[in-house]
Amino acid sequence: MIDVDGLQKAFGKKREVEAVRGVTFAAPDGEITGLLGPNGAGKTTLLRMIATLVLPDAGHARVGGLDVVADRYAVRGRIGVLSDARGLYPRLTARENVRYFGRLYGLAGAALEARIDALFATLGMAPLADRRTAGFSQGERMKVAIARALVHDPDTILLDEPTNGLDIMSVRTLRDELRALRTQGKCLLFSSHVMQEVAALCDRIVVLARGRVVAAGTAAELVERAGTDGLEDAFVRLIGSDEGLAA
Amino acid sequence: MTTLRTGSAAGRTLTVLRKELLDMFRDRRTGMVTLLSAICAGPIFLLLIFNLIASQAERARDLKLPIVGAIYAPAVVAFLERQQVTVSDAPADYDAQIRRGDLDVVLIIDDQFAADVAQGKAGSVQLVFDRSRDRARASIEQTESLLRRYNRLWGEQRLMLRGVASTVANPLRIETSDLATPQQSGALVLFLVAYYGLFASVMGGMAVALDTTAGERERQSLEPLLMTPARPTEIVTGKWLAVSAFNALVVLLTLAGFYLTLKFAPLPPVGVPFLFGAREFGRFALVLVPMILMLPAILLYVGSRARAYKEAQANVSVLLFVVSLIPMIQLFMQRKEPGWLMFVPVSAQYSLLNTSLRGEAPALTQLALSWLAPATLIALALFAVARRLSRESILIGK
């Protein structure tokens, strides 16, 4: 469960770049919540604040009841993050990459190895597990990054533009994995500027533009509210322009 | 459903350390270059220096002296021959040969030599040489000193013939006693060995320190790492220990290279029995411990300020310049070292290495003092890196 209440963040010497200006929403367990918005809407900053990496200027965010500022390390132990920084250690094998993070989360021994095996099996990565990641394709790297983000079995999962640069097969693997996690009762928050992506996967959509929530609800609710025929038109009308929008 | 899992701070630090070590030794190219240059540099270096010294000593031992007009002063020539100098007739183009470096020094005896002496005037001889040629220096000095000796001898004989004691003309008797033990000679060798030992501790951890900071940021694996429960201080400590361990390995290999070369390699005998035995090996290692630990901390800091490996390399070259300059300044100062030198990192270590090479044990108080500044700098650098890692700006501009 993610609870965001009035989050604000500005950057720059004089705090002149207002990235997030008072965002409030909730993402319940057992659902995939989509954060939809054009480039520059503040999605990444918002996710980083929830992931405890960036301190909010004002407002609160709670993950599983824990405050992202006061209990930041406890929150880190409970969330899994797939950010757009998906760098791996090229000289380590896929397994060693994931093992490193597992150990940092306090896992060890046979339990950790079993967890890694299970993750790689689900992701279809078992044959590549003991190869160095230097020569991996984008899709293979993404799978290792997913395994790394999920190794400690977090109950809240944040994904920042997870389908960027992936081929269609990898996108499908990712979608299946996210649906499986939803079935397990996890809370998933998924950001994207690709409307179809969000529509195909998310139970609820939060539309973000210029640092503010402009609408929230299911796809059907958004279409109804905007009074348009399809989601694409609804989206354009809700954010007030088609700037920075990918079809 | 998930329970809160928290490993211990020590456990996470150890995890970072183990991963970084694994990562370093997987990096074949950097590893091989660093380790090979550490192993080979010492021996190659020593071989070159020893050959240089040997050839200089050789020249001084069998001095060859071409003479123009040997017939005008047979007594001078006879004296030189008695002193084991190989005398020959100078070729016509001797000045060209000296310029080319084929001849070291040529003696010209004036054709009026005998006539001048007979009239009670000083007979003139001329030495032709090129002092800018290092190799010739030993021959030049030896020829000069032989001629001066002949001059004094001749004068004393004349005074004796007149019944005057030689002390009338030479009231000052100069006796020298060189307090240098055998291993105190060969200052150049000492400088180079100390310098190189110091340099190894600076260079050893460079590539890996930059790779683990600027490289990690460039490869975009830093953000995921910072999202784990590992605290910035734990990450930095783990990385620092890993780089220091690698640095220690490079320094030990470099010292082992010196030790093995001096012990087993067929180096030419140069009369500089300077010591680098097991005892000096141990003292070197001890003196260099603060460097081995300090440079990685500083390099991590420099690396953490850069967005990419290349940028970090450019920044680090300034640091290297300063560090490599300090011993040079000390070499050229040639003064008795002031007491506060022990507080200056690099300088203190260089001075203590020289002490060790002279066969003396560095004083414990000095060793302790030489630790103060490095320990402070280590703490400051690690604190600064940890602070940088916990700042938001590290995520921006990747």
Same domain, yes or no: B300 and B192: yes
- B353: in domain: yes
A136 CB within 8 Å of a chain B CB: no
For residue range B82-100, list pLDDT tens digits in order. 888 888 888 888 888 888 8
Q: What is the pLDDT of residues B204-235, one digit of tens each?
A: 888 899 999 999 999 999 999 999 999 999 99
Q: Range of B141's domain?
A: 62-175
Residue B213 carries which DSSP code? I
A152 touches chain B (CB under 8 A): yes
Domain presence at residue B50: yes
Interval B59-69: pLDDT, tens: 656 788 899 98
pLDDT at B185: 46
Smallest CA–CA distance, residue B205 to chain A, in Å, is: 18
* pLDDT for position B360: 82
Both B41 and B73 in one domain: the answer is no
pLDDT value for B137: 78
The DSSP-derived string for B102-157 is S-SEEEEE-TTHHHHHHTTSPP-EEEEE-TT-GGGHHHHHHHHHHHHHHHHHHHHH
| Cβ-defined contact of A106 to B222 (cutoff 8 Å) | no
CB contact under 8 A, B228 and A76: yes
- B155/B46 same-domain check: no
CB atoms within 10 A of CB B126: 11
Q: Is residue B365 part of a domain?
A: yes
- pLDDT tens digits for A2-50? 999 999 999 888 888 889 999 999 999 999 999 998 888 899 999 999 9
- Based on its alpha-carbon atoms, the radius of gyration of chain B, rounded to whole angstroms, reads 31
Q: State the complex-level ipTM.
A: 0.91
Contact with chain A for residue B236, Cβ under 8 A: no
Q: Inter-chain contact A103–B223, Cβ cutoff 8 Å? A: no
Please check whether residue B2 lies inside any domain of the structure. Answer: no
Q: What is the pLDDT at residue B184?
A: 44
pTM score:
0.80
Mean pLDDT of chain A: 90
CB-based contact A152 B2, cutoff 8 Å:
yes
pLDDT at A88: 95
> Tell me: the pLDDT tens digits for A83-141?
888 899 999 999 999 999 999 999 999 999 999 999 999 988 999 999 999 999 988 99
Regarding whether B266 and B205 lie in a shared domain, the answer is yes
> Exposure of B53 by Cβ count < 10 A (0-12 exposed, 13-18 middle, 19+ buried)?
buried
Whether B158 and B190 map to the same domain: the answer is no
Q: CA distances (Å), A10 to each of A2, A14, B242, in order?
A: 22, 9, 37
Judge: B2–A155 Cβ closer than 8 Å, yes or no. yes
- A107 CA to chain B: closest CA distance, Å? 8
Q: Is residue B1 part of a domain?
A: no
Of the residues B133, B155, B175, which one is the last residue of a structural domain? Answer: B175
What is the Cα–Cα distance from B376 to B1, expressed in whole angstroms? 46
Q: Give a yes or no: residue B3 inside a domain.
A: no
Which of A154, A201, A161 lies closest to A179 in space, CA to CA? Answer: A201
B27 contact A CB<8A: yes
| Count of domains forming chain B | 2
CATH code at A2-84+156-239: 3.40.50.300
Tell me, yes or no, whether B21 and B74 share the same domain.
Answer: no
In the predicted model, is pLDDT for residue B183 greater than 60? no
> Is the model more confident about A165 or about A155?
A155
pLDDT at B176: 60
Token pair 């030896």 is at which residue? Answer: B142
Same domain, B230 and B251: yes
> Helix and strand tally (H, E) in chain B?
16, 4
pLDDT of B187 reads 61
Domain ranges of chain A: 2-84+156-239
Whether residue A50 contacts residue A207, with contact meaning beta carbons closer than 8 Å, is answered with no
Q: Are residues B131 and B258 located together in one domain of the fold?
A: no
Residue ending a domain, among B136, B156, B175, is B175
Chosen from A89, A141, A151, A184 to mutate, greatest number of chain B CBs within 10 A: A89
* Residue where a domain stops, chosen among B141, B175, B209: B175
Which tens digit of pLDDT belongs to each residue from A39-90? 888 999 999 999 999 999 999 999 999 999 999 999 999 999 998 888 999 9
Please give the pLDDT value at position B273: 53
